[in-house]
Amino acid sequence: MTESHPTTEPQRPSRALSAYLLGTLEFESLLAFQRRLVYDISGDRTTAALILCDHPAGISIGREGSRSHVRPSPEVLNARGWPVRWLSRGGGTMLHLPGQVACYPMFALDAHGLTPGAYMEQLQGVAVDLLREYGVTGEPDPERPGVRVNGRRVVHLGVAIRDNVSCFGLVVNADPDLELFRDVRCDGDTLPMTSLARESSHRVRVTGVRQRLLELIAERFGFDRTSVFHTHPGALHQRTRHAAAHRP
C-alpha cells in the first residue's frame, strides 16, 4: 500500500516594508535620503522602503515638463521662495506645497514581478482606492499619469527607475492652498489642480491621508509586515539599515 503525502504550495518569501513618516521635509533632504535607500535596496532586493512626507513650497519639473508651465517670472519665484528643480523622473511640472502627501516608494520591481508600466498602473490604482475611501471617484489619466476628479488633476505621478528600483512616486493634494495652482500648469494641464478636501464631503486631514495611503500601498504590493520610522534623514549619518528592523 502506497503511503500518500500531502502536497504543499510553494511559500512566497515574506515581504517587509520600512515606512518613513517624516512630516515636512526639505526637497534636498528627500533627494539625498532617497538615493541612499535606492542604493541599499539595489544591493538587497528583498527589502523595500517608502517615504511619506510633504515639502515646503517649490516646483519640480520632470522629463515631460516645461518652464513654460510656470507663469511667474524668476524674480517673483525668488521673492516667494519657490525654488525650481529639474528632476530626472517621469511626469511633468508639479507645485509642491504644505497640505499635500508626497509618497515615494522604493521597490525592486523584479522582486514584485512588475514591469515599469505595470508598476505605474498599480500606483494609479492605489490613488483611485484612496479617493474612493473619501467618497470621491477618481479617473486615471492614460496619457499623462495621474488621477483626475471631474476633469481636474488631484494626484500627480512622476516615477524614475534606477537599477530596476523605483523612486519618486506620487503627490496627493489633500488640502493645500488651491489658489496657488493658478500660477503653475501642473503636468501641462490647462485647469488648475483640485484637492481631496474640495471634492470630498468627508473630513480630510493630512495625517489621515498619509496613514491610509501607507496601508493601501502595503496591501496592494503584498507586504506582510510594515515597520514605521519617524527619524529625519538628516540624522542618519551612516548607511541606512532599514532591513535590519525586520530580521528576527
Residue ranges per domain, the chain?
Answer: 16-230
Looking at residue 175, what is its pLDDT? 98
Looking at residue 4, what is its pLDDT? 46
Q: State the average pLDDT over residues 238-247.
A: 40
Question: DSSP letter string over the chain?
Answer: -PPP----PPPPPP-EEEEEEEEE--HHHHHHHHHHHHHHHHH-TT--EEEEEE--SEEEE-TT--GGGB-S-HHHHHHHT--EEE-SSSS-EEEE-TTEEEEEEE-BGGGGT--HHHHHHHHHHHHHHHHHHTT---EE-SSSSEEEETTEEEEEEEEEEETTEEEEEEEEESS--GGGGGGB-GGG-SSPP--HHHH-SS---HHHHHHHHHHHHHHHTT-SEEEEE---GGG--S---GGGGG--
Q: State the average pLDDT over residues 128-134.
A: 98
Residue 144 binned pLDDT confidence (cut-offs 50, 70, 90): confident
**Per residue in 212-227, pLDDT tens?**
999 999 999 999 999 9
- Cell numbers standing for residue 146: 495621474
Residue 234 binned pLDDT confidence (cut-offs 50, 70, 90): low
Looking at residue 11, what is its pLDDT? 40
**Per residue in 30-71, pLDDT tens?**
999 999 999 999 999 999 999 999 999 999 999 999 999 999
| Closest listed residue to residue 123, CA positions, set 193, 63, 170 | 170
Q: Options 1.50.10.20, 3.20.20.140, 3.90.420.10, 3.30.930.10; which CATH number does 16-230 get?
A: 3.30.930.10
Residue 237 binned pLDDT confidence (cut-offs 50, 70, 90): very low
**Per residue in 162-199, pLDDT tens?**
999 999 999 999 999 999 999 999 999 999 999 999 99
Compute the distance between CA of residue 214 and CA of residue 51 in angstroms, rounded to an integer: 9
